[in-house]
Amino acid sequence: MKFSYTLTDDFPPLAWVATCQPERRTITVLHGHFVETHPHFFVDGAWAGDFEAGRIQDSDTVFGSGGCLTDGSVTFTSCTATTDFLYHSDSHDPFCISNSLPLLLAMLDDELHIAGKDYSRINMSILDGIHQYQPSIPTRKGHVIRIMHRNVRLGTDGITLVDKPLCPEFKQFEDYRDFMQGRIGELFANARHPARQNPLKTFSTQSRGYDSTAVNVLAAPFGIDDIFTSPESKEKQSFYNGKASQTPSDDGTAICTTLGLPCTQIDRRSFEKKALSAEEYYWAGLDNNADLNLHEITSYVRQPTLLLTGQYGEFWYTREITGEHRMHYFDDALKKWDLSGHGLSEMRLKTGFIQATIPVIGSRNRTAILAITESPEMQTWRLNTHYDRPIPRRIAEEAGVPREMFGQVKLASIVHLPTPNVPVTPTLRAEFFRHLTKNKLLGRLGIRLLPVVQWLNNWIYWKNPSRYFNNRRKHPLLWHISYGWSKLFGQPLRIRMLWPKLDSYLYAFCVNKVRNEYAGLLAHSRTTTGDANFTNMNSLPAPPEKVLSK
């Protein structure tokens, strides 16, 4: 096999799509100008390993994605974290795979169902981890496959899913800390390797919490070009309301100063104060997207950039805070509590950055991490509060960050928009509303009622009125109503969020909108490069059997 590369200048700089027809033994790769292309491998990010060797599939720490030729087959490697994905057709003759769902759909001449109601649920299944998430995404012509964490090998035996290498066992704190820092060093060396056509810059984020503080302590020895902090934290027990929040500051400037690191303040509400172009790329990445707080960082990206974040910090909680009902999270599946940080997958391709969620390094060995957290050696670094993460506290305090400077109050700067979500920018919002009415998904009266529905959902989400039906002593009438309901219908009475299907509608609308943009770019490329590098995949055969190997 061999790669045949076609640079498509108008593509988002980190986007790529690969097509393989077995009889040709050639994998055609269309890509943006930040994708690194070499004879036997290509990559849109970085990994812990030798860049020139190009064996991205052999690394347990990968941010971004890519492909590598080995022994008559090709392996496409996905991100270690569950924040970015690969998507592929369900056929191996021809086979098509991409780091972008809209781009894959454009290549397949397919699209999402405009009235699909399950897309939000499918996206939420990411929380269930790499073993139980729903990989199949329904489309107008059938379905496509989302690949999370694992790699995809295409050879003479068809399509095979291959696990990433597992990290070693951690016996004590030093083992774990040194492993993470070693991987960060290898990651940075890979990102800056002189053999790259476009070496990566390195950005990071900093709050007053545990996770970003520990990340920057570990990364500081290798050099960080800039760090961004949002002084304003999110609203307390409310969806985003467009006003300055009255919550404590989450400004991490003092922590950066202590560590001798640069720091730039950003405004979490900049997406409203400045023109937000290409908003559809956020919603094409995830419905219920909470990552608009990071939007201002995109204006600083001038070249391919590694963006360090503290996502997966819940892996560092104690047993008491996790709670027995969540102890099933402590396995190798990368299960998460929420999807913050997962809404950048399409926007990052357009902007040119790669999210590196540093706490995911080594985290498939989550039981060992919990054992270290609970060990007597960590007692000195426990606060015994409701916000207690001994491992990142020890990492930061041993580096000289004062205890009182971080990890005292649980804050965040995410933008938790009212649900059901609607676009923020007036132009895209009006287009979405026209789409709803034109396709009879929601009438004009329903659109006028949306603010009322969002207000009610704010009450349901934050006040949890269902709890009143469970307290027999305080609310006996409501308890008896709930009891009768459960006897009659076989399930407890729950007050659920209203109109959740609109979130799926918005996701499908924006995926298809971005898909149409890609389709126009592909059509333009056909006229300038000819049809040789393009494959008509309107008719796809039944999917081959998927094989899981280690």
Q: What is the pLDDT of residues 168-219, one digit of tens each?
A: 999 999 999 999 999 999 999 999 999 999 999 999 999 999 999 999 999 9
Q: At residue 504, does pLDDT exceed 70?
A: yes
Domains 2-165+505-528 and 173-405 share a fold: no
54: closest CA among 190, 167, 156? 190
CA distances to 18, 24, 97, 105 from 21, rounded to whole Å, are: 10, 6, 12, 18
517: closest CA among 4, 148, 8? 8
Provide the CA 135 distance to its chain's centre, in angstroms: 15
- Percentage of the chain surpassing pLDDT 70? 96
Whether 88 contacts 97, CB under 8 Å: yes
DSSP conformation letters of 105-164: HHHHT----TT-S-HHHHHHGGGG-TTTS--EEE-SSSEEEEE-SSEEEEETTEEEEEPP
Q: Average model confidence (pLDDT) for the chain?
A: 92
13: closest CA among 137, 198, 196? 198
Q: Which residues contact 335 (CB under 8 A, 6 or more apart)?
A: 127, 128, 129, 328, 329
pLDDT digits (tens, 9 = 90+) for 272-304: 988 788 999 999 999 999 999 999 999 999 999
164: closest CA among 313, 56, 256? 56
Q: How far apart are CA 165 and CA 56, in angstroms?
A: 11
Q: How far apart are CA 345 and CA 284, in angstroms?
A: 9
Q: How far apart are CA 294 and CA 407, in angstroms?
A: 21
Q: Which residues contact 287 (CB under 8 A, 6 or more apart)?
A: 119, 120, 123, 421, 503, 504, 506, 507
pLDDT reported for residue 1: 85
206: closest CA among 416, 413, 415? 413
Q: At residue 543, does pLDDT exceed 60?
A: no
What mean pLDDT do residues 259-279 have? 93
pLDDT band at 529 (very low <50, low <70, confident <90, very high): low
Q: How far apart are CA 347 and CA 353, in angstroms?
A: 9
What mean pLDDT do residues 356-385 have? 96
Whether 267 contacts 293, CB under 8 Å: no
Residue with tokens 């280690």: 550
pLDDT reported for residue 548: 35
Residues 347-365 as b/e (b if ≥16 CB within 10 A, e otherwise) read bbbbbbbbbbbbbbbbbbb
pLDDT reported for residue 469: 79
Predicted TM-score of the model (pTM): 0.93
Signed CA dihedral, 130, 132, 138, 142: sign only: positive
Q: How far apart are CA 19 and CA 31, in angstroms?
A: 12
pLDDT reported for residue 38: 97
CA distances to 137, 169, 280, 291, 413 from 421, rounded to whole Å, are: 21, 42, 12, 13, 18
Per residue, the 3-state secondary structure of 324-367, as one string, reads HHHHHHCCCCCCCCCCCCCCCCCHHHHHCEEEEEHHHCCCCCHH
pLDDT reported for residue 136: 98
DSSP conformation letters of 15-73: -EEEEEETTTTEEEEEE-TTSEEETTEEESSEESS-TTT--GGG-S-EES-EEEEETTE
- Work out the end-to-end distance of the chain between its first and last CA atoms, rounded to an integer number of angstroms: 23
Which position has the higher pLDDT, 537 or 162? 162
Question: Residue 46 forms beta bridges with which residues?
Answer: 63
Half-sphere exposure (Cβ direction) of 512: Cα atoms closer than 13 Å: 20
Which position has the higher pLDDT, 220 or 549? 220
Q: At residue 84, does pLDDT exceed 90?
A: yes
Q: Are strands 26-31 and 95-98 parallel, antiparallel or unpaired?
A: unpaired
Residue 450 burial (10 A CB sphere; 0-12, 13-18, 19+): middle
pLDDT reported for residue 59: 98
Whether 345 contacts 286, CB under 8 Å: yes
Q: What are phi and psi of 295, to 5 degrees?
A: -60, -35
Q: Which residues contact 372 (CB under 8 A, 6 or more apart)?
A: 170, 172, 173, 176, 378, 391
Q: Tell me the CATH number of domain 2-165+505-528, given options 3.60.20, 1.10.3470, 3.30.70, 3.40.462.
A: 3.60.20
Residues 41-75 as b/e (b if ≥16 CB within 10 A, e otherwise) read bbbbbbbbbebeebbbbbbbbbbbbbbbbbeeebb
pLDDT digits (tens, 9 = 90+) for 314-367: 999 999 988 888 888 889 999 999 999 999 999 999 999 999 999 999 999 999
Q: Domain locations in the chain?
A: 2-165+505-528, 173-405
Which of 188-192, 440-444, 496-500 is predicted with the least confidence, judged by mean pLDDT? Answer: 496-500
278: closest CA among 203, 342, 198, 352? 352
pLDDT reported for residue 186: 98
- Percentage of the chain surpassing pLDDT 90? 79
Q: At residue 542, does pLDDT exceed 90?
A: no
pLDDT reported for residue 537: 41
Q: At residue 530, does pLDDT exceed 60?
A: no
Whether 534 contacts 20, CB under 8 Å: no
pLDDT band at 156 (very low <50, low <70, confident <90, very high): confident
pLDDT digits (tens, 9 = 90+) for 105-125: 999 999 999 999 999 999 999
Whether 341 contacts 83, CB under 8 Å: yes
Q: How far apart are CA 366 and CA 287, in angstroms?
A: 28
pLDDT reported for residue 478: 80
153: closest CA among 206, 86, 108, 203? 86
Q: At residue 539, does pLDDT exceed 50?
A: no
Q: At residue 535, does pLDDT exceed 70?
A: no
pLDDT band at 89 (very low <50, low <70, confident <90, very high): very high
Report the CATH fold assignment for 173-405.
Rossmann fold (3.40.50)
pLDDT reported for residue 22: 66
Q: How far apart are CA 231 and CA 248, in angstroms?
A: 9
SS3 441: coil
Q: How far apart are CA 99 and CA 525, in angstroms?
A: 19
Residue with tokens 């009622």: 449
Total Cβ atoms within 10 A of residue 489 = 9
Q: At residue 157, does pLDDT exceed 70?
A: yes
SS3 202: strand
Q: How far apart are CA 413 and CA 269, in angstroms?
A: 10
